[in-house]
Amino acid sequence: MQTHPKKRIDVIVEAPLMRRIIDRLDESNVSGYSVMPIMAGSGHDGSWTADGQISNATQMVAIVCIADASKVDDILGSVFGVISHQIGFVTISDVSVVRPERF
């Protein structure tokens, strides 16, 4: 089966920023994305968990999209404008897809 190279962009942010990131992805003409809750983790400030939280203010989400390499710089510029002074991070990785027309 033939595969095609694309880029996967993962944005890990606090849940209250989710809508703003999604709006930026839509403005950048990203064909689709998935949002997943993050239940626990560990980072620069140590371990944390969402257990016992009564609001989503400190919850984290992962927003994942796959895009053509030619769109990555535009997407990153738009997304970074939202998270540059917030808790979170962005990763980019190489992936292969079997249906390139979807991305």
Per-residue pLDDT reduced to its tens digit, 26-56: 999 999 999 999 988 887 778 877 676 666 6
Sign of CA dihedral 61, 62, 63, 69: positive
Question: Comparing 51 with 25, which gets the higher pLDDT?
Answer: 25
* CATH hierarchy code of domain 4-40+58-102: 3.30.70.120
Domain spans of the chain, in order of start? 4-40+58-102
Per-residue burial over 12-43, b if 16 or more Cβ lie within 10 Å, else e, is: bbbbebbeebbebbeebebeebeeeebeeeee
Q: Whole-number mean pLDDT of the chain?
A: 90
